[in-house]
Amino acid sequence: MKLIIDARFTKTTQHDGISRFTSCLIEEAAKLADVTMLINDKDQLSLLPDVPYVLINSPLSPMEPFVARTVNKLKPDVVFSPMQTMGSLGRKYGLILTLHDLIYYEFPQAPGFLPAPVRLVWYLFHQMYWPQRLLLNRADAVATVSQTTKGLMARHSLTRRPVGIVSNAPAPGAAPRDSTVAPEPMLLYMGSFMPYKNVETLIRAMKYLPGFSLHLLSNIAPQRETELRELIPENSTVIFHHGVSDTEYQELLKRSTALISLSRAEGYGLPLVEAMSVGTPVVATDMPIFREVGADAISYVDPQDPQDVARAVTHLAVPETWHAASRSGLDRARDFSWSVSAQQLLDLAKSVMKERKQQ
């Protein structure tokens, strides 16, 4: 099988979720098939595995609807895109598009790093479902990362195409923390600061957690940081890291008491799996996707109740409870790996090839 994976959403200096998803899938899929990457900036190669690549237009280029003209020349059997927006006019190959979640139908504010015209189109796009159906039905199959999102796609009849799971997984090479070293009174948050992430409640919970520090690890816009700083309770310690490297992230995970996510909507929740994979307990919103990811290994809370969050953290601070939660997380994290995800992708690609041969 000749498989092309669209890596044009890969970052150039530090991974975000889509970037890491793509990179890790490519690395594992290349062990199983003939894989070529599509990039639009050679600086992306610093975060991608050593796999053959082709340099083409940006996915945000006006030429994107016609990108199949270029891709056809590479004669792939199947092309996989980690997004649903890849152009397809005139394609002569199997196409798998990805829908990670339906968050932006409930919270349609676009990420701030996008240009203003793109943010407007993004907002309008998520006011109705039919544009999403048009995008997804151009493919031969659609991938998503969780059964929860697959169920939501079916509920809203988003595609007539087969939907397969290509799941997320923690960063490769993470080693469990030393269980003989007591955790420090540190709480971590990894993720964006968009309103649906509900970082406000997490900050308010610090009022009830004297002696604990909260570390907000991701990059944040100055205006948003100012808004959140105004919420910090008196005598509470909240540290803005403005981004951390993978090495720093692992080091902080292995020192902290817990990672916390009070998001009101998610497509997966990768930081939860990353924490469990090193034995760091997790406190998270009680909602279907986090139940799917964490099963019984996570402490679930009401995301609107700061005191409920504080109670969960205080309970975890008991050594016996913390060690039990750490072991449960490690056991649960073993169910997720990029080798499994790559095989899921290859199986879906084979089904696309089979279906196209029968047409």
* Strands of 299-301's sheet in order across: 237-240, 213-216, 186-189, 258-261, 282-285, 299-301
Same domain, 97 and 218: no
At 15 the pLDDT is: 83
The answer to whether position 234 is within a domain reads yes
Same domain, 195 and 125: no
**Domain holding 268: CATH number?**
3.40.50.2000
* CA neighbor of 24 nearest in space, from 175, 144, 171: 171
Single-letter amino acid, residue 236: S
The answer to whether position 259 is within a domain reads yes
The answer to whether position 275 is within a domain reads yes
Q: Is pLDDT above 80 for 21?
A: yes
Same domain, 162 and 239: no
Range of the domain at 98: 2-169+337-358
At 93 the pLDDT is: 98
**What Cα–Cα distance (Å) separates residue 273 from each residue in 208, 269, 284, 330?**
26, 7, 12, 9
- What one-character DSSP code corresponds to residue 43? G
Cα–Cα dist 307/209, whole Å: 9
Instruction: Tally the domains of the chain.
Output: 2
Residue with tokens 């015209």: 117
Same domain, 27 and 157: yes
Q: Is pLDDT above 90 for 267?
A: no
* CA neighbor of 202 nearest in space, from 231, 223, 224, 240: 231
CB contact set of 151 (below 8 Å; sequence gap of 6+): none
* pLDDT tens digits along 126-175: 889 999 999 999 999 999 999 999 999 999 999 999 999 999 998 887 89
The answer to whether position 178 is within a domain reads no
Same domain, 112 and 209: no
The answer to whether position 174 is within a domain reads no
**What Cα–Cα distance (Å) separates residue 344 from each residue in 34, 167, 341?**
16, 8, 5
Same domain, 304 and 326: yes
CB 284 within 8 A of CB 300: yes
Same domain, 313 and 217: yes
Same domain, 345 and 329: no
Same domain, 271 and 129: no
| pTM for the whole structure | 0.88
The answer to whether position 179 is within a domain reads no
* pLDDT tens digits along 87-120: 999 999 999 999 999 988 888 777 776 778 877 8
CB 246 within 8 A of CB 46: no
* Cα 241 from chain centroid (whole Å): 20
297 in the Ramachandran plot: left (φ > 0), alpha (ψ -120 to 50) or beta?
alpha
Q: What mean pLDDT is predicted for residues 305-314?
A: 98
Q: How many residues would you count in the chain? A: 359
Residue with tokens 């600061």: 193
